Structure 1
Amino acid sequence: MDARARRSRESLRRAVLTLASLVPITEVSVSAICREAGVTRDTFYRHADSPADLLADALAAEIAEVMQVLPETDAIGDGERALIGHVHRRAAVYRGAMRPSLAAPVRSTLESSIRSGLELWTRLHPGILPAAFVDDDAALRLAIAYAAAGTVGAIEEWLRQEDDDIDRAVELILAASSEWWLANPATRERRER
């Protein structure tokens, strides 16, 4: 992507995040986004199919940034805290994308981002995997899909409750997770040597 296209995409992302923090995404028009971003409709449609798709793209970029914590930690809870912190900072946007569940593009992006994070976690720390998932990619994909979808469901419920306690949300989501996800990779890998 050339510099001009990158600037346009960033302007569009900022615009949709601004507008979606004020009104539900279903009420945000392409025209309003274009006015806010200072771009044409043609430019909008080169980057997104709809306001909800653009919102999902903007949120995915932010999630990718906060999830960079995963390779630098030995606790998956740090990744969960980074994700919930992002959702908390963008709570108005996420709540505005719920009717009663997250809009499909936003939900799909959130779930896909969590899956990517969990896939990375298992590649970085294969020693946490129970025997049932070692050397069985299909089984591991199933476990990751289950964990990602469950996390999104928990986030939706947390948003509905309008709870601002990030630590409590992280604690409850981790408590509902399978224990092997929570294993300290460094400790487990030392024990297995």
Structure 2
Amino acid sequence: MTKGTDPRVTRTTSALRQAVVELASQRPVSRITVAELAERAGVTRATFYNRYSTPLDPLVEALYADLETGHRLEDRRRAEGAPGPELLRLATAEVADHVERFGDVYRHALVDPADRGVYDALVRHFSDYAVSFLSRAAGPDLPGVKHQVVAEFLAHGFAGAITAWVADPSVTKEDLVDAAVACAPAWWAQLDATRSPGTA
């Protein structure tokens, strides 16, 4: 918890995140009302609107928070000197583990054409991750192209692969990881991303 944060705010945020994950595991988040989410979390609608606009907002927070645990593990392994190919597979497997943990949420959200909120949030997360990675990367293999365009290309591809996995019971987690690693640009695993952003 950040120093100075009111414990009541932390408890309320946690309650709303937990409640929306429970509800979104039963049906798409677009079909969850603020009233039922607030009741499930034990807060008032006014309290909800003090923090969020729609139920998608705390759901995305919960998903992003879990994804960040995998990124921290990747950062630790990178700092320890793990090779690029190993880090690529680790990062991909951590995302797959995340999707598995929130499997019911993704199964409801990614297969409903009317509910793009979670898919779009995944794309934003992967795109931001890729831009951050490329901004730190160095090496002769780093392509001299717009990083944002590369990031969007990779993000939509990975989110699409996750959607295919979630929609097809015959596709395993290992299938997803193998396919994503195989489709990653060959230069990605060769880059040195140990620098801090903005350093030469």
TM-score range, shorter chain: 0.7 to 0.9
Amino acid at match of 1:84: A
Distance 1:114 1:105 in 2: 14
Q: Offset of 1:20 from its aligned partner?
A: 1.1
Q: 1 CA distance for matches of 2:105 and 2:136?
A: 32
> Is residue 2:188 matched to residue 1:181?
yes
Alignment counterpart, residue 81 of structure 1, candidates 79, 88, 93: 93
Residue 119 of structure 1 pairs with residue 131 of structure 2:
yes
Letter of the structure 2 residue corresponding to residue 107 of structure 1? Y
2:26 match: secondary structure: coil
Give, as a single letter, the amino acid of the residue that structure 2 aligns with 1:121: F
Q: Which runs of 5+ in 1 are unaligned?
A: 134-138, 187-193
* Cα distance, 1:98–1:168 mapped onto 2, change above 3 Å: closer
Partners of 1:107 and 1:89 in 2: how far apart? 16
Given that 2:28 and 2:115 are in contact with CA atoms closer than 8 Å, whether structure 1 keeps it comes out as: no
Q: How many residue pairs were aligned?
A: 181
Alpha-carbon distance change, 47 to 100 in structure 1, aligned in 2, over 3 angstroms = same
Indicate conservation of the 8 Å contact 1:70/1:121, yes or no: no
**Structure 2 Cα separation of the partners of residues 142 and 78 of structure 1:** 24
**Residues in 2 aligned to 1:174 and 1:102: alpha-carbon distance in whole angstroms:** 30
Give the counterpart of 1:50 among 47, 54, 69.
54
Q: Is the deviation greater in 10-19 or in 114-123?
A: 114-123
1:160-189 Cα shifts (integer Å, max 9, x gaps): 113562222111012122111233749xxx
| Match in the other structure for 2:6 | 2
Q: 1:108–1:131: structure 2 CA closer, same or farther, 3 Å change rule?
A: closer
Per the TM alignment, residue 122 of structure 1 is displaced from its structure 2 partner at its CA by: 2.6
Residues 1:154 and 1:101: Cα distance change in structure 2 (over 3 Å): farther
Cα 1:163/1:112, change in 2 over 3 Å:
farther
Q: 1:164 to 1:42 in 2, by over 3 A?
A: farther
CA distance in 2, matches of 1:152, 1:6: 30
Q: Give how far 1:124 is off.
A: 4.3
Shift of the alpha carbon at 1:120?
A: 3.3
Which segment is superposed worse, 104-113 or 115-124? 115-124
More helix by share: 1
Alpha-carbon separation, structure 1, partners of 2:99 and 2:14? 20
Give ranges in structure 2 of 5+ residues lacking alignment: 194-200
What is the letter of the counterpart of residue 169 of structure 1? L
Q: Superposition RMSD on alpha carbons, in Å?
A: 2.3
